[in-house]
Structure 1
Amino acid sequence: MTVETLPAAAVPYGRLVPVTVHFDDLDALGMLHNSRYPLLVERAWAEYWHGQGFGFDGDWAAAGDMCNVIKEMRVSYERPVTRPGHYAAHLWIERLGRTGLTYGFRLCSADGSETYAHGHRVLVRIDSATLRPTPWSDRARAVAGELIRPETDERETAADAA
């Protein structure tokens, strides 16, 4: 089973995973409620990992790499989503360590051209019996490795911003 993603050419790194904003996701002002941004990204990541053959059926001992906890999360809101419809979560890995990983994300337009929010989240894989950090499997490292954001030259980034 593979996850539905948009063409790789749509973004220079990572993957775009389609997400849907429903009418009841909007707040009283008609904007996507702030708590829904990370929820949509979480669902996109779950879909991506499930599409790669990773899953959780309620058995933590058998969960393997899916047995992980959040250490940190940051979200910056750029502009409001003001209507239901089709959008995307742009997903990538910023850092892959022995027991932890940091992933970056953007909630964006379906084609990836407009950003509504962006951020990162730090996960730590834990042993289900001890609840202590434990290394990612080789298989998880290989899947995550395909999403690692290439390093950019700081001068290039500064020139692009000018």
Structure 2
Amino acid sequence: MSGRSKPHSRADYAHFRAMTTRWMDNDAYQHVNNAAYYAFFDTAVGQLLIECGFLDVRRSPVIGLVAETKCQYFREIAFPSTVHAGLRIGRQGRTSITYEIGLFRDDEDEACAQGHFVHVYVDRESNRPVPLPARLKSVVAPLHIEGHTIAV
């Protein structure tokens, strides 16, 4: 099967978040465990939404729940490193957003890993999907890259 994606470059992303690896992120093989990559994804998206004023984790009436996630690994990351998470929007629907994330080690230009999170936005109380709020749309608008659509 030759359908494997190639690593993205930093130029493929609209926004970046820097995070440091921690000693405990390394596993028995002396590199960051695969589960930590999903934590980087989640932190990059959550941090953006909090800092831009859309998400208050305790009080926001609308929250995003992860409905799907995927990660492809190309090269290992190990402690100590700085991970730069590139963000862009792959798809924006009526009630969901696909955030595409590329993880870059230190100052490297080629992604060590890349994938996506699909968030379905729901009413916190009823847990039912709701249309994307205008504030969220304005927060993610700069993450759209013209001509880019997610590869399914």
Q: TM-score range by the shorter chain?
A: 0.7 to 0.9
Structure 2 Cα separation of the partners of residues 49 and 15 of structure 1: 13
| C-alpha contact 2:64 2:120 (8 A) present in aligned 1 | yes
Cα offset, 1:12, TM superposition: 4.8
| C-alpha contact 2:95 2:120 (8 A) present in aligned 1 | yes
Q: Structure 1 vs Structure 2: percent identity of aligned residues?
A: 27
1:47 aligns with 2:24: no
Name the counterpart of 2:116: 120
Task: Please give the root-mean-square deviation of Cα atoms over the aligned residues, in Å.
Answer: 1.9
Structure 1 Cα separation of the partners of residues 42 and 148 of structure 2: 26
Q: TM-score, with normalisation over the residues of structure 2?
A: 0.83
| C-alpha contact 2:67 2:119 (8 A) present in aligned 1 | yes
Q: Which runs of 5+ in 2 are unaligned?
A: 1-9
Q: 1:62-77, aligned counterparts within 5 Å?
A: 63-65=60-62, 67-77=63-73
Q: Deviations over 1:27-66 (max 9, x none)?
A: 011010000001012112222111211232423xxx134x
| C-alpha contact 1:16 1:90 (8 A) present in aligned 2 | yes
| C-alpha contact 1:89 1:106 (8 A) present in aligned 2 | yes
Structure 2 Cα separation of the partners of residues 111 and 48 of structure 1: 21
Q: Greater helix percent: which structure?
A: 1
Q: Which has the larger Rg?
A: 1
Q: TM-score, with normalisation over the residues of structure 1?
A: 0.78
Structure 2 Cα separation of the partners of residues 30 and 41 of structure 1: 21
Structure 2 Cα separation of the partners of residues 100 and 25 of structure 1: 30
Cα offset, 1:100, TM superposition: 0.6
1:82 to 78, 82, 92: 78
Structure 1 Cα separation of the partners of residues 37 and 131 of structure 2: 29
